[in-house]
Each structure stands twice: as structure tokens, then as C-alpha cells.
Chain A
Amino acid sequence: MIALALILGVTAALVQAAVLPAFYTGLWAAPVPACALIAGWAATRRPEETWTIALAAALVLGAISVERAGWFLLAMLPTVGAAMVLATMAPRNRSLTARVGRALIAASGGALGYAGTFAIASTSADALLEEAPGLGAAALVTGLLAALIVVCAAPFRRRPVGLFA
């Protein structure tokens, strides 16, 4: 499972670096596939398993950017944190609707946190505020992407273990 997460993390980073610039011309208003994958995986499996995705994606993005890999990893932490908090709020609710909702919220909030982190890293908070509507739309798209991942990955979800589960 770790190897799969590693491959998916690298793929998400490559999609983010190579494919998204063809569709989104703005600097800030672009969805973050790595955050969507983290939120989707956390809602399908366990939030603790997302460290591989975050680390792999951060290292790949850091290697092909002037920004440091550490900043990319820091920028993904809000998604990981949101996924962990949401998972602990209703641990017994494992319905598809609940998992989709958790992924949507964690990914959308995480995408905003991602942009916020880079606003700090590049000291350009003004530019972030100017693109707030586009950023909101991009966060929503990230959330929908995470929801789609949860639906598609439903067969791989973590099932409760127990005699009467």
C-alpha cells in the first residue's frame, strides 16, 4: 500500500507541475491534485497513511521548483491535519456520504492552506487576496476531485475489523 501511495504521490505532483498549467493560467487559482489525493486517501483508508503521498509529492515538486521541498510539505500539512481532525470527529461513520464529505472539506480547506503557505513563503499575501474568487473556485475543484477519488476508490476502502462488524 505504501508503494501505491508513493506512485500516486509522484503522479499527482507531475500532474500538478506538467498538466495543470495547460488548463489554469493563474498563479494561485489552480487546483492542487496532491491535496485532493491526500484528502481522498485519508477518507478512504486512514489519514496516517497519507505521509507517503505528502512526502513523495513534496520532493518531486521541490525538485522542479525554485521553492524548497520543505515548503511544499508544509503546504500539504493543512490537508493532512484537516483529514485527521475530521476522521476523529466521527470515527464510526464510515458511510460513503460521510467519507465524500470529509474528503471534500479536507481537500478544499487544504487547498486554501496550501495557497496560504506559499503566500507566506513568497511574501505575496496581497496577490493571494486579489485572486480570492479564483482561489475559492480552485479549492472547490480540489474538493470535488477528492470526492471523486473517494467514490472511485470505494472498493479499496478500509473495512472495520471485528466479529460483528
Chain B
Amino acid sequence: MAGSRSAAWFSALFVAALLLLAASALPPAGSVEEEARAVLSPAVGFLGDLARPVGNVVLRADEVDQLSADNASLRLEVERLERDLATIREQLSVDEAVAALFGTTRWSPDDALVAPVLLRDPAPGRPAMLIGRGADDGVRVGQPVLGPGGTLVGTVIEAEPSRSWLRLLTDDEAAVAVIVQSSRTLGALVGTNNGLTLELVERGQDVAVGDILVTSALGGRLPAGLVAGRVSSVESQPQALFQIIEVEPLTDPVRLEHVLVLTSYRPATPRLEPAP
């Protein structure tokens, strides 16, 4: 009796899940989801802000000795820098401060927009992020998103009025045309969900560990010259056509609190010619 009742409950839940999946394809589901997200995002952001400092302490507990030594030397450095900063701060406008934060002078405030990171996608297998700027601010699908130092973090895949979803470089659906900066070798930087690999680089092409990869304008999806990663290992097998190259991202997306969206960039849309 209890077994059949349990089976009935389980079946009801299963049917509910299927109904939810089916309902999510209906047009009203998007607006309902957006309303719910508007309500929940502040709560998620607030809890995340509370948890982040604790998480930093817990995750770095094994580095306490090293951090103490670093702290002592950095404290002296900070005192000196604070004096310098107090002088400089007066001379900087807000836009210049943002440019300094991201360590790049290539993009002016007219070209780009600072956006806070609201949350990381909680679904496993989805390296995506929600940021606090959207279509009303000029964010468009396909625009590149940069982290500290002007490094490429990902691209916008969905722009709501006041928020946008980013697909990170590490997403296994992400692929970017890149050039090895030192040898100008062309390749495709592909996400694996856990990291990055550089593909389509033939055996014999000049690529070495430590080489920096920058984006290529090939295809028109991204502006040329954005730093995308650093080669961490190169393997070449005699029978293989291409080299096996692993790449490490230069920005840890987990620790990002703000990003820079290149709102002035208009990515090219692929033009499909009708079949003859």
C-alpha cells in the first residue's frame, strides 16, 4: 500500500517536471521567469556578498603562513601607495578610475560599460554568468566581455532590459578565433567546461608553453587583439595532424565582481546565402 502510494507521488513529480519543461517553451514563460529573476536576484546577490568573504578565508586556509609574510611586506607597500593614491585620486574622474581598474587604456568609457556580476549559473555544466547591465544600457548579444587587465572573459548570449547572460570562454559551446601572439599562428580557442584548448594548430607550427593568445578579427565576431589566454602545455604526437595544446585562462571568472562590456562593438552576423 505504502509502496503504491510512493510510486504515485513519484510519478506525479515526474509528470510535473515534464510539464514544467513543456511549459518553459511557451512565450509567457520567459516573462514570468524574468519577473521571478528580478525578485530573486537581489536576494542571491545579498547572500553571495555575505558568503564570499567567508569562502575566501575557507578556500585559502592552507595559505595562511605565506599570506602572513606577504601581508607584512604588502602593508608597507600599501602605506606608500595610499599616500600616492590620495594625491592621484583627486585628479581622476570616475571613468578614468574604471579604466585604471581594468588596466587598459585601449577602451574609452564611450566604448565600454562596467557591469557588476550578479550571479554564476547554479546549473552544473553551464559556465555562465548574469551581469547587472542589459539592453537598456546598450548591451547586445555577441558583444565581448572583459575582465581585469582587458582579458577576454566571454560574450553576451542573452540581453534582458536590465540584465544580461554571459557565456564564458570555458563553456564547451564557446569557440574563438585566436592568434599566438609571438608566432602569429592562427587557431581556434575552444572551451571544455573545465578549461580551454587551442585546436586546429598543425604539427610543426610554432607554439610554446607560456605563449599568449590574442583574439583574431577573423569572422568578425570579436575585435582583434583581446588577450584570451596563455598556453600551459603543448603535446605533439607523430601520427596526429594537429597539436594538443592546453590553455589557461588569464582571469578566474569565479572571483570576478565587475566586468567590462564592449558596448561599442557590433559583432558581424553570419550571412547565409540561399542554396542554388
Binding site for B on A (CB under 8 A): 14-23, 25, 27-28, 30, 47-48, 51, 54-55, 58-74, 77, 80-81, 84, 87-88, 91, 114-115, 118-119, 121-122, 124, 127-128, 130-131
Known A-B contacts A14-B43, A70-B20; the reply to A84 vs B9 at CB < 8 A is yes
Q: Are B193 and A127 in contact (CB under 8 A)?
A: yes
The 6 A-B residue pairs with the shortest CB-CB distance in the complex, in nearest-first order:
A22-B55, A70-B21, A70-B20, A122-B125, A18-B47, A63-B36
Residue on A nearest B172 in the bound complex, by CB: A124
Compute how far the CA of A48 lies from the CA of B12 in the bound complex, rounded to whole angstroms.
11
A to B CB contacts below 8 Å, 30 in the list: A18-B44, A19-B50, A21-B51, A21-B254, A22-B51, A23-B54, A23-B55, A25-B59, A27-B194, A47-B6, A48-B6, A51-B13, A58-B17, A62-B33, A63-B33, A64-B119, A64-B130, A65-B126, A66-B126, A70-B17, A70-B20, A70-B24, A72-B123, A73-B13, A73-B20, A74-B21, A91-B2, A118-B124, A119-B124, A127-B125
> B104 to chain A: closest CB distance in Å?
26
Known A-B contacts A16-B122, A22-B56, A51-B13; the reply to A69 vs B20 at CB < 8 A is yes
Q: Are A64 and B2 in contact (CB under 8 A)?
A: no
> B213 to chain A: closest CB distance in Å?
22
Q: Are B125 and A28 in contact (CB under 8 A)?
A: yes
Partner among B18, B128, B193 whose Cβ is within 8 Å of the Cβ of A70: B18
Q: Is B275 an interface residue (CB 8 A)?
A: no
Compute how far the CA of A86 lies from the CA of B48 in the bound complex, rounded to whole angstroms.
35
Known A-B contacts A64-B37, A73-B13, A127-B192; the reply to A115 vs B124 at CB < 8 A is yes
In the complex, chain A residues whose CB is within 8 Å of the CB of B20: 58, 62, 68-70, 73
Compute how far the CA of A69 lies from the CA of B124 in the bound complex, rounded to whole angstroms.
13
Q: Are B51 and A19 in contact (CB under 8 A)?
A: yes
Provide the main secondary structure of the chain B interface: helix
Q: How many A-B residue pairs have CB under 8 A?
A: 164
In the complex, chain A residues whose CB is within 8 Å of the CB of B56: 22
Q: Is B94 an interface residue (CB 8 A)?
A: no
Partner among A17, A22, A27, A59 whose Cβ is within 8 Å of the Cβ of B125: A27
Q: Are A66 and B17 in contact (CB under 8 A)?
A: no
Q: Are A27 and B124 in contact (CB under 8 A)?
A: yes
In the complex, chain A residues whose CB is within 8 Å of the CB of B126: 27, 65-67, 122
* Chain B residue total in the interface (Cβ 8 A): 57
Q: Are A63 and B37 in contact (CB under 8 A)?
A: yes
> B129 to chain A: closest CB distance in Å?
10
In the complex, chain B residues whose CB is within 8 Å of the CB of A84: 6-7, 9-10
Residue on B nearest A22 in the bound complex, by CB: B55
